[in-house]
Chain A
Amino acid sequence: MERGYRIRSKPNYETLVWKEKASAHVVVAKGAGGMAVLQLFQQMHPVQPVTVFYVRGDSTDKDYSQTLTKLVGDELQVFDTQMEALYAFYRRLPDMKMGTRFYVSGTESFIWSLCKLAALFDIQESEIVKQLSNSLSRPVYCVHCKATTPNVTTNIVACSKCSRKLFVRDHFSRHLGAYMGLMIDAENPGEVPAIEEIYP
């Protein structure tokens, strides 16, 4: 990318820090994102009710579930898959009250899947504190078939639904929670440049 040039649509991530004014806290993390949760509890254990949803890391990801269990106690719920965790989170939303603060840490795919669910309850993503765990992998939205391919680490990826070879752009849609992917060999079918890992 050209030096000094900044793509405004690209989200910025922060470090999870408890919000002081709150009625309750809900923390959602996946795999390596568990470290951000451990750091949160290093800051303090808030007086308000806390709920932590954690997706156990798999073979390719770090797993902090044991340490978290010790540190957080019964306010922690551990899940084996992202699906289960997000579903459990979503089912709890109707019982949550205004003033609940939200924190999420994980890959960009995970963060934005959560933001999309929260948006259904009129919680804006700008209200959710987000920390990127140690991966730059991206969710990629196929502008042709409208499917999103999660955790993409390469400059070019085959769409998980239509298999078109997509070039991963820097343009991010908050609404879709993904980077735009455009078919790279539309003009000259089969002509695909070298695929490299650039979002490790």
Chain B
Amino acid sequence: MSTVNVRVAAIEQVTPLVKHFTLVREDGQAFPPFSGGSHVVVAMDIGGRIHRNAYSLMGAPDDTQAYHISVRRQERSRGGSAYMHDNVAEGSVLQITMPVNLFQLIRMGRKHVLIAGGIGITPFMSQLHDLKRNGFEYELHYAFRSPEHGAFSAQLKSECGERAHFYIDSLGQQLDIPAVLSRQPLGTHVYVCGPAPMVNAVLEAARELGWPENHVHSEQFTAPPMGDAFKVQLAKSNMEVEVTADMTLLEALETAGVGPDSLCRGGACGRCELDVLELDGEIFHHDHYLSDAEKSSGKKILPCVSRARCTHMLLDI
């Protein structure tokens, strides 16, 4: 995967848990423009081990001087978000991949409804630029815990005016998802990014109301869960790799120099899919990509988020 070195030009504490990082290229060149909803993967060298986390780009898609990401400190972090918060300072150098978009606006849509929960606002920050520039019809619904946790809410209020709706949990303000979806005109697309219960509530409400599936878009990057250590055997490279408790199978394969391709690193895109040739235990599937049948077959695994409990698992790589 092609990467580029970036320097942290500025850091802003946006909320008690969220920091906004402004990145410029170390070689002084311009970044490529991207499309709203894109993300980059940031590689961090934590004690000699490479962690990679995906973050949505938030700035204007045509701003090629700087890229902007926001990182929420995760309570049960494997180190990535804590590292970004505690160890990265202005002037630090990081490596990022070129932008990839798995959460694109559907340009055919006649109206776009964006639903964000907490830090799930980040992919919409760049999509809103696209929506406004194209003069598209849209609504934003943004739910967060308490007033001080509403990252970018003041900016959104002034930029989106009446199209932005805020729901602050601590003030008892609830987002009524079925009500929002039931009043949308034909040709509307809904996009949701946020915690799993919110994403599921949107998918469920849309299904109940009879929305066609291809009008419903979600981004739910699972932070890879930790688990027990396990070992895997690799058929093609003929070696054994140990996956420690605090790293993902994908990271273990990358550390061993045999990492498969990856895009979202959150169990959403399926790019990292591997065939399981032999298995004497159980796979814990944490992705949103494989079908239930594929999951229970035990023949496939998405190493970016899934783990196993076994003494022998032979992967086709």
Contacts and interface: CB of A to CB of B under 8 A. Distances in A.
Interface of A: 19, 21-23, 93-101, 121-124, 127
A115 to B, nearest CB: 14
B186 A96 contact: yes
A-B interface, 3 closest residue pairs, ranked by CB to CB distance from nearest: A122-B187, A22-B210, A99-B209
Contact of A123 (B182, B186, B208, B209): B186
A23 B182 CA distance: 8
A99 B182 CA distance: 8
B231 to A, nearest CB: 46
26 contacts: A19-B210, A22-B209, A22-B210, A23-B182, A23-B209, A23-B210, A93-B186, A95-B185, A97-B182, A97-B183, A97-B185, A98-B184, A98-B185, A98-B188, A98-B211, A99-B182, A100-B210, A121-B110, A121-B187, A122-B108, A122-B109, A122-B186, A122-B215, A123-B212, A124-B214, A127-B212
A123 B109 CA distance: 10
A85 B188 CA distance: 25
B209 A121 contact: no
A198 B72 CA distance: 67
Nearest to B109: A122
Contacts of B108: 122
B131 to A, nearest CB: 16
Determine the interface band of chain B, counting residues with CB < 8 A from chain A. 10 to 19
Contacts of B215: 98, 122
Given A97-B182, A97-B183, A123-B186, A21 B209 contact: yes
B209 A98 contact: yes
Contacts of B132: none
B49 interface: no
A96 B210 contact: no
B190 to A, nearest CB: 8
Contacts of B209: 21-23, 98-99
A101 B207 CA distance: 12
A191 to B, nearest CB: 45
B182 A121 contact: no
Contacts of B186: 93-94, 96-98, 100, 121-123
B43 interface: no
A147 to B, nearest CB: 26
Contacts of B181: 98-99
A99 B178 CA distance: 11
Contacts of A99: 181-182, 209-211
Nearest to A95: B185
A48 to B, nearest CB: 8
Interface in B197-236: 207-212, 214-215
Given A96-B185, A98-B185, A122 B211 contact: no
Residue among B181, B183, B208, B209 with the highest chain A CB neighbour number at 10 A: B209
